[in-house]
Amino acid sequence: SQELEQSPQSLIVQEGKNLTINCTSSKTLYGLYWYKQKYGEGLIFLMMLQKGGEEKSHEKITAKLDEKKQQSSLHITASQPSHAGIYLCGADMRTGNQFYFGTGTSLTVIP
Amino acid sequence: DAMVIQNPRYQVTQFGKPVTLSCSQTLNHNVMYWYQQKSSQAPKLLFHYYDKDFNNEADTPDNFQSRRPNTSFCFLDIRSPGLGDAAMYLCATPRTGPAGGYTFGSGTRLTVV
């Protein structure tokens, strides 16, 4: 069952443009994580959000958590080709130590 | 910070021939996870260990088994690999420290011929 849905599924943007990726959970979020994956490679941890309203930034990437909506958004400002890859949200499901991933968003940045 | 090491990086196996993938972590964390990631898909949780307690996801095929002989090591055994089992297999453990999150290994890419 897919408990974490990401949108859009794929995104193609011109370099320099801003973009937003959303992650929506069907269950209560206890911790929401964002990862990036270059094609064919391992996962890179970006950031973790735990509290409603929390917002974190890393370089040009900002993530927010809306606990009431069970949703998180990842915003990239002034995108660069180095931002290209697959972005995955992940969440703790406290019922039993499980950690699940969202459906993923593939980002292409055109120079 | 925990390091998760997966070996080998690439594995080629024959259809139906048992194969074992290995994972080790340096922080002796009590939780370890195995994920399967097929091309263009998100990683899918296969199972996880809490200490020696094995927790299988409901939709993980019986073809996949796991062993955890000690805290540091965890193995994924595929008893009879099929063509559909070709994928990247990722191992993970929770991170320590205030940043939180999970540390993933670089993965083993399995090819079935």
Q: What's the pLDDT score for residue A36? A: 94
Distance between CA atoms of residues B91 and A8, nearest Å = 27
Strand partners, A11: A107
User: Chain A partners of B56 at a C-beta cutoff of 8 Å?
Assistant: none
Distance between CA atoms of residues B91 and B83, nearest Å = 21
Query: For residue A58, what pLDDT band results from cuts at 50, 70 and 90?
Result: confident
Q: Is the pLDDT of residue A79 over 70?
A: yes
Query: For residue A29, what pLDDT band results from cuts at 50, 70 and 90?
Result: confident
Q: How many residues does chain B have?
A: 113
- Whether residue A100 and residue B45 make contact (CB cut-off 8 A), yes or no, is yes
- Cβ under 8 Å to B: A residues 78-97: 88, 90, 96-97
pLDDT: which is higher, B65 or A96: B65
